[in-house]
Amino acid sequence: MRCRPVLFAFLFSQGLWAATLHRGLGPEPDSLDIHQAQGLSAINLLREIREGLTSYDAAGNIVPGVAASWQVLDKGKTYRFELRDNARWSNGDAVTAHDFIRGWHRALSPATLARTASLLTPVVNAGEVMVGKVKATAIGIQALSVSTLEIKLTMATPWFPEILAHPVSFPLHADAIEQPNQAPVNGAFVVDKMTMHALIRLRKNPHFHAAGSVALDGIDYLPIEDPHAELSRYRAGELDMTETIPAGRHDWLQTYLGDELRISPYIGSFWLGLNLGREPFADNNNLRRALSLAIDRSVIARLVVGAGELPAWSIVPPGIDGYSAREFAGSELDSEARLLTAKELYLKAGYSEDKPLRTELRYNTSSQHRKIALAVSSMWRQVLGVQTQLLNEEWKVFVNSRRQGVVTQVFRGGWIADYADPASFLDLFRSDNELNTTFYKDKTFDLLMDQAAAMDGAARLAQLQRAEVHLMQDMPVIPLYFYVSRHLLKPTVSGYQPNIRDIHLSRYMGVKSTKP
């Protein structure tokens, strides 16, 4: 539960709370520019140092952020926000409606190439601005006053408040145009120190509108790509909370660390992406299906990852209200029939024992990703005779390789939902989506998604399901499992609440001192 400021003040006065929370971050963040960041570690950091119109509470629910309140008008197509009168940048300047307009103009500018700008496409003219058809001033966002912001959508978008809690929609201080790395921020914390691959130190922002309820003086985020190394540092007392746990260590951790292990449902999917923009996967659906059927997902989920993950045959994970998860072609077959079908499709694709597929499987540096890659390549070799070269790359290099699609063939992929809706996953495969790293381009899929966007309620969800069925028939990705969130948490940490979004803002946490 979130403690009251008075209680925090008492605890500090009694010396019961340490000033700094030590957290694992995962890979080095790809960027702290709100319009360039796309990795989870970067998004998590940006939510610590910045805030949008909306934010998240400790339980992962949408709550007011910079906006004190809002109205939903015009049958869900207009949002009118009243900003807090005490919303401030870290230099003391007031956060205004114009700061949001400045940020959105930059996010949607074709020159910016914002990685997640497509999240803003429900806004009037946002898509046209992104491709340079109209000027940024044409988008459906305007300041009715310094503290009143109105946003117009092309259609009702129930998840829109969640988009407003994503960094791409955050405000931008005027100084950020000239000095993006030195400009003020408006979150609960500010960056105090950054040491590449070692430390990102945040300190409390005294100008944050809810600074009085923030227990911590600061956070030390440690970028650690290897979960085994993160576990070692946790056990050595260097971390209060990990970003994840190593593959295959769930049972051991449950036995020896007990309540410190926190496993919870999570709206995320893990898959292998296939580059349909080049050989050998372009125009070879039989090959893509053969590779999918040759993988035993239950082994991957239970033995390789081993932390409660669910085997996946689809893109959209279970747990989204109103959306019926489906099992797709091949999932209904028993093991023997599945492998036999895989071999038949492999032959139809033009490959055989005498003419094996030779391909590359690329992943970002991580012991868990390496184990998954090894398991998949072993299954492909045993079932089909595929010869797979494993290639690991540091996160930023990997992201760039995946985005350009020049060298990638098979690559580690997946998605954590930006909002709890099937479209958060399916939109990734639109022909014009910047994040479509499979280079899947299909007019029927795009049309189904467009039609769904014009619907609402149950009809919309049914149409999205048709789009997912079509997508999985084309198979630009091979789903492997659905995520769970998994952390180790010291008993001295308070304020942590499990939630399906796995968003845990440090502003709600505290750390009890163990010093005498």
- pLDDT tens track for 198-218: 999 999 999 999 999 999 999
The model's pTM is 0.78
Give, in words, the CATH class of 1-48+187-242+489-516: alpha beta
Domain locations in the chain as residue ranges: 1-48+187-242+489-516, 51-176, 265-484
Q: In the chain, helix, strand, coil percent, each to 5?
A: 35, 25, 45
Rg of the chain over CA atoms, in angstroms? Answer: 23
Q: Is residue 256 scored above 90 in pLDDT?
A: yes
pLDDT reported for residue 14: 44
C-alpha count within 13 angstroms, C-beta hemisphere, residue 400: 7
Average pLDDT over the chain, rounded to whole?
A: 92
Q: Among 54-63, 207-216, 305-314, 356-365, which is the least confidently predicted range?
A: 305-314
pLDDT at residue 418, rounded to an integer: 81
Q: Which pLDDT score, from 0 to 100, does residue 515 have?
A: 55
- What pLDDT, in 10s, does the model give residues 464-490? 999 999 999 999 999 999 999 999 999
- What are the phi and psi torsion angles at 80 (to 5°)? -120, 120
Identify the pLDDT of residue 331: 81
- Cα(31)–Cα(51) distance, integer angstroms: 17
Q: Which residue has the tokens 């189904």?
A: 448
Which residue reads 């959306």 in tokens? 323
The string over 479-492, giving b where at least 16 C-beta atoms fall within 10 Å of a residue's C-beta and e elsewhere, is bbbbbbbbbbbbee
Q: Which residue has the higher pLDDT, 177 or 473?
A: 473
Q: What kind of fold does domain 51-176 have according to CATH? A: Dipeptide-binding Protein; domain 1 (3.90.76)
Quick check: do 1-48+187-242+489-516 and 51-176 share a fold? no
Residue 387 predicted with pLDDT over 80: yes
Neighbours of 458 (CB within 10 A): 10
Residue 514 confidence class, pLDDT cut points 50, 70, 90: low
Residue 251 has pLDDT above 90, yes or no: no
**pLDDT surpassing 90 at residue 147:** yes
For residue 516, pLDDT beyond 90: no
Angle CA 82–86–88, to nearest 5: 105
pLDDT at 3 over 70: no
Rounded average pLDDT over 69-96: 97
Q: Measured between alpha carbons, how far is 415 from 28 in angstroms, rounded to an integer? A: 18
The proportion of the chain whose per-residue pLDDT surpasses 90, expressed as a percent, equals: 79
pLDDT (mean) for 35-49: 94
User: How confident is the model over 54-60, as a mean pLDDT?
Assistant: 96
- Identify the pLDDT of residue 487: 97
- Percent of the chain beyond pLDDT 70? 95
φ and ψ of 142, to 5 deg? -145, 150
Say which CATH superfamily domain 265-484 falls into. Answer: Dipeptide-binding Protein; Domain 3 (3.10.105.10)
pLDDT digits (tens, 9 = 90+) for 339-372: 999 999 999 999 999 999 999 999 998 888 999 9
Reported confidence tier of residue 298, pLDDT bands at 50, 70, 90: very high
Q: How confident is the model at residue 13 (pLDDT cuts 50, 70, 90)?
A: very low
* Confidence check: pLDDT of 373 > 80: yes
Residue 195, strand partner residues: 199
Four-residue CA torsion sign, 373, 376, 382, 384:
negative
* Section 439-454 average pLDDT: 94
Residue 9 has a pLDDT of 44
Q: How confident is the model at residue 327 (pLDDT cuts 50, 70, 90)?
A: low
Question: Rounded distance, CA 310 to CA 484, Å?
Answer: 8
For residues 70 and 94, what is the distance between their CA atoms, to the nearest angstrom? 19
Residue 367: predicted pLDDT: 82
Q: Examine the pLDDT at 24 and tell me if it is beyond 80.
A: yes
